[in-house]
Amino acid sequence: MTRADALLALRHDLANISELDLQDDPGQLLRCSRDAYDYSPVLSPKLAGARAQLVSRPQSVAAVEQLAAACTKHGVPLTVRGAGTGNYGQCVPLEGGVVMLTTGLQRIRKFDPVTGIVTVEPGCQMSQLDQELRRHHRELRLLPSTWRSATVGGFVAGGSGGIGSIRWGFLRDPGHLLGLEVVPMTTDAHCHQLNEVEAEALNHSYGTNGIITALTLSTAPAVNWHQVCIDCMDWADAVAVLLACGRSAVSLQLATALEASVLERLPGWSGPAKGHHRLLLLVAPDGIASLKRLAAHAGADLQDLGPEDFNAGNGLRELSWNHTTLHMRASEPGWTYLQMLLPQPELPAMQALRDHWGDDLLWHLELVKQQGSVRVAALPLVRWRGAALLEQLMDDCRAHGAVVFNPHVITVEDGGLGVVDGDQVSAKQRFDPDGLMNPGKLRGWLERAQNS
Ligand SMILES: Cc1cc2nc3c(=O)[nH]c(=O)nc-3n(C[C@H](O)[C@H](O)[C@H](O)COP(=O)(O)OP(=O)(O)OC[C@H]3O[C@@H](n4cnc5c(N)ncnc54)[C@H](O)[C@@H]3O)c2cc1C
């Protein structure tokens, strides 16, 4: 049967299920076939032609089950999409088929006021969930800088960390994701409840091994985070103060460092750029005086901009993580970026790379907790001079001891440590035995298929 025939048969089977909200308007098919992969000039030409053939926005878990069963019966690929803000083409349907929007499923199902544990449907926006949690004096532990639009399901299936990573590490660290509800791609699809251990294999799997219909997450007591900036004349001082802040006993939710030449191309929400390098911090109110002392010790200036205003959309959060790249590209197209964990000590490697690459590599750092230790992650801005030079730059970073997480590739593994996770592949065998979910994104599955 051709794909066209399979789609016709699928539509025939689903025609009377209004809860599936089927759409095939060409504009909608195009919109739902793209995400923020255009940050990568390597991915852009590779993904531009991929197109969904049908879009569905199920309104209930029962409708998701019917959609999954029908796609399996007719051999039609299915790619799940939240807000579509991923940077690596995570929700681009490489082989066409159905794109399933999760935004029809956005209920907060359960909140335990004693433990703070929340169970939520995948299409709930992170901003909405955070707002609801704050009513109960709780907050999300980890958020991407796209938290205003990103969905909870998209963050867990496609993201890794961000705001909060200095305190709470990364999404795949044990203790964040406590359970999942998942609908398999089988002809008798019925949702399964997964405990914390089973859920691990679907965390950061790009929706290749099961449709997530609910997530159970831990949360944190809410803090009235203050926005604090520290300006330093010298980059070495900026890095030293950043590390001193991270190693102090002060509670931080964000610790970003921007070189002066990055800062001057960003919106002026953190105050005017005066040729200084700047740290952007979210700090618990009881720690501001201590950070003032640390800054003064290095001859740096600290500014307390006051508590965050969540209504405004122009906070320090929106200058951090990949929002730095967003603003840089808006001010001057032609920049792309890399992601890496810097070696320790950080400065010699940064200096050596600067000596070689000059102003084609500008530093943007984020403090993170990596396996319990404070480490420096970098999302440097890179002037695009072609794929060969980008590869050379990544090799050079590795030669200086950095662990590179390549944002210019489409598979789960190649954007991570490069190794196949057998548990992710086994979960795909269990929940998507015909390999129909987001095809082409799990290298371990493709290699397994090639070897059998
Ligand atoms: C400016 C900018 C800044 C960013 N900053 C960060 C950051 O700080 N940290 C970070 O980690 N990422 C960041 N990202 C990437 C992205 O925004 C986040 O990972 C975000 O959480 C993705 O959510 P989404 O709803 O847009 O997911 P989508 O892009 O829609 O989906 C992401 C992946 O999850 C899968 N998926 C979605 N829902 C489900 C489901 N219910 N079941 C199974 N699979 C599912 C999709 O198939 C896809 O593979 C940034 C991107 C941009 C453009």
pLDDT in tens, the chain (452 residues): 899 999 999 999 999 999 999 999 999 999 999 999 999 999 999 999 999 999 999 999 999 999 999 999 999 999 999 999 999 999 999 999 999 999 999 999 999 999 999 999 999 999 999 999 999 999 999 999 999 999 999 999 999 999 999 999 999 999 999 999 999 999 998 999 999 999 999 999 999 999 999 999 999 999 999 999 999 999 999 999 999 999 999 999 999 999 999 999 999 999 998 899 999 999 999 999 999 999 999 999 999 999 999 888 899 999 999 999 999 999 999 999 999 999 999 999 999 999 999 999 999 999 999 999 999 999 999 999 999 999 999 999 999 999 999 999 999 999 999 999 999 999 999 999 999 999 999 999 999 867 76
Ligand 1 touching residue 150 (CB < 6 A) = yes
Rounded Cα distance between 319 and 304, Å, is 16
User: Whose alpha carbon is nearest atom 24 of ligand 1?
Assistant: 154
- Cβ atoms within 10 Å, residue 309: 11
Q: Is the CB of 153 under 6 A from ligand 1?
A: yes
**Single-letter residue type at 444:** G
Q: How far is CA 138 from CA 113, 130, 224, 334, in A?
A: 9, 8, 11, 40
Atom from ligand 1 closest to the CA of residue 438: 47
Residue 203 has what DSSP assignment?
T
Q: What is the Å distance from ligand 1's center to 86 Cα?
A: 4
**Nearest Cα residue to atom 8 of ligand 1:** 144
- 381 in Cβ contact with 337 (< 8 Å): yes
What's the CA-to-centroid distance between 122 and ligand 1, angstroms? 11
CA dihedral sign of residues 373, 379, 385, 386? positive
Query: So what's the pLDDT on residue 452?
Result: 67
Atom of ligand 1 nearest to the CA of 160: 11
- Atom 23, ligand 1: which residue's CA is nearest? 154
Which ligand 1 atom sits nearest the alpha carbon of residue 36? 53
Q: Which residues pair with 50 in a beta bridge?
A: none
**Which of 65, 91, 176, 412 gets mutated to test ligand 1 (max ligand atoms within 8 A of its CB)?**
91
How many whole angstroms from 124 Cα to the centroid of ligand 1? Answer: 13
323-348: buried (b, 16+ CB within 10 Å) or exposed (e) per residue? bbbbbbbeeeeebbbbbbbbbeebee
- Max Cα-Cα span within the chain: 72
Q: Map residue 390 onto helix, strand or coil.
A: helix
For residue 320, the ligand 1 atom closest to its alpha carbon is 8
Residue 159 Cβ < 6 Å to ligand 1 = yes
160 lines ligand 1 (CB under 6 A): yes
Whether ligand 1 lies within 6 angstroms of the CB of 97 is answered as no
Q: Give 384's contacts (C-beta < 8 A, 6+ positions apart).
A: 41, 334, 335, 336, 390
Contact present, 52 and 7 (Cβ < 8 Å):
no
The C-alpha atoms of residue 400 and residue 144 are separated, in whole angstroms, by 28
What is d(CA 178, CA 199) in angstroms, rounded to the nearest whole number?
A: 7
Rounded-to-integer distance, Cα 256 and Cα 431, Å: 39
- Ligand 1 centroid, distance to 83 Cα (angstroms): 7
SS3 category, 215: strand
Which positions ≥6 away from 423 have C-beta within 8 Å? 200, 201
154 Cβ inside 6 Å of ligand 1: yes
> For ligand 1, is residue 205 a contact (CB within 6 Å)?
no
Residue 67 CB coordination number (10 Å): 28
Integer Cα distance of 281 and 32 in angstroms = 35
For the chain, helix, strand, coil in percent to 5 are: 35, 20, 40
Query: E-strand spans in 10-134?
Result: 22-23, 54-56, 78-81, 98-101, 108-111, 118-120
Q: What's the CA gap between 131 and 390, in Å, rounded?
A: 40
Pocket of ligand 1 contains residue 58 by CB under 6 Å: no
**Is the CB of 208 within 6 Å of ligand 1?**
no
Question: What domains, with CATH codes, occur in the chain?
Answer: 3-101 (3.30.43.10), 108-221 (3.30.465.10), 226-404 (3.40.462.40)
Cis-peptide into 77, omega within 30 deg: no
Task: Report the distance separating Cα 394 and Cα 236, nearest Å.
Answer: 23
| 209 touches ligand 1 (CB under 6 Å) | no
Q: Ligand 1: which atom is nearest the Cα of residue 437?
A: 47
